[in-house]
Amino acid sequence: MYQRPDRPRTIGGVLDDAVRLYRVSARYWWLPSLLLALLATAAESYYALQIGPRPTPGSMMALYKSPQMILTFGIRMLLTVYLYMVMQVSMAAIATGADLPLAGAFRKALRLLPATILGTIASLLASLVGLVLLIIPGVYVFGRLYYWSAALCIDQPETLGSLAASWRVVKGHWWRSAAILTVLFFLVIAMLVVMMVVEGALVGILRPTSLSGFVAVQSVAQVLNIVVVPAAPAAAIATYLDLRLRAEGSDLEARVKQLAG
């Protein structure tokens, strides 16, 4: 049972909240996470078959420049963003005590899709500008804007409002947020390493040269993704709620001091 915290938590407490939210929301995130894995399996199998068993730099470049590749990649990214938002919408509903069935999460994520696309582009561009100027500003901006999608699901502002909400709640707590994101980062790295090892072993054993072979390799490699990917939105929701409590406490303290003065 997930209980929304009513006071700021320690870093360990936030991670505990994220784990509880992850477990409680499993009945909601399993379907969109499974669809994400199937989407990745289909896309990677398609790319591999287009390149062939012995790809050359020329054949890879020709594929990446082809209109069908660009269209396929665009559709894949759109569906990925949508399915990720379905998971986050479901978790946000549980975290805030709302009653939202899985079908409702799919519908709500669809309504939020335009704002989600704009928010994704805006946050990535802002981070890239910071990286071009210098790596440190890029990392800083990324950390300040990371929770915009959580704000979009919970507080439901428009795109700019969600970016502003993330920027506001992280103020004064950047290092705290970075510590939690670092744990998540190493989790993702560990997952990628395991996936690469498994995929490499399967390729060596099966030596896939047909559609069925590629699908088999990709399906096994994506199994881990089904249970690991939902950890990211769970951590984002739990951390955002904690940061919002801290920001609200700081705002209240400032108002009290202003009235006392």
Residues 6+ apart with CB under 8 A from 243: 147, 169, 170, 173, 176, 177
Give the pLDDT score at 251.
47
Q: Which long-range contacts (CB under 8 A, 24 or more apart) does 211-214 make?
A: 211/45, 211/49, 214/44, 214/45, 214/48, 214/49
Answer with the residue of higher pLDDT: 46 or 214: 46
d(CA 110, CA 124): 21
Give tens-digit pLDDT for 111-166.
Answer: 999 999 999 999 988 888 877 777 777 888 889 999 999 999 998 778 888 999 99
Which residue in the block uniquely carries the two structure tokens 């072993």?
Answer: 201
d(CA 213, CA 199): 12
- Other CB atoms within a 10 A radius of the CB of residue 252 amount to 10
Q: Is the pLDDT of residue 110 over 90?
A: yes
Give tens-digit pLDDT for 199-219.
Answer: 677 666 666 566 566 666 667
Give the pLDDT score at 253.
47
- Averaged pLDDT for residues 222-231: 85
d(CA 103, CA 87): 12
Are 100 and 123 in contact by the 8 Å Cβ rule? The answer is no
Give the pLDDT score at 211.
59
Q: Ranked by mean pLDDT, which of 35-44, 58-67, 85-94 comes out on top?
A: 85-94
Give the pLDDT score at 208.
59
- Work out the angle between the directed axes of helices 135-145 and 174-206 (0-180°, nearest 10): 100
- Other CB atoms within a 10 A radius of the CB of residue 72 amount to 16
d(CA 2, CA 19): 9
Which of 235, 221, 218 is CA-nearest to residue 87? 235
Which residue in the block uniquely carries the two structure tokens 């320690």?
Answer: 10
- Averaged pLDDT for residues 182-206: 75
Give the pLDDT score at 255.
47
Q: Is the pLDDT of residue 71 over 70?
A: yes
Residue 180 — very low, low, confident or very high, per pLDDT cuts 50/70/90?
Answer: confident
Residue 220 — very low, low, confident or very high, per pLDDT cuts 50/70/90?
Answer: confident
Residue 83 — very low, low, confident or very high, per pLDDT cuts 50/70/90?
Answer: very high
Q: Given 3-state DSSP classes, what are the helix, strand and coil percentages for the chain, each rounded to the nearest 5?
A: 85, 0, 15
CA-CA distances (angstroms) from residue 212 to 198, 200, 209, 215, 253? 17, 17, 8, 5, 62
Q: Is the pLDDT of residue 77 over 80?
A: yes
- Centroid of chain to Cα 118: 15
**DSSP H or E run through 65:** helix 57-65
Q: Phi and psi (nearest 5°) for 229?
A: -55, -40
Residue 43 — very low, low, confident or very high, per pLDDT cuts 50/70/90?
Answer: confident
Give the pLDDT score at 256.
46
The mean of the pLDDT values for the chain is 83
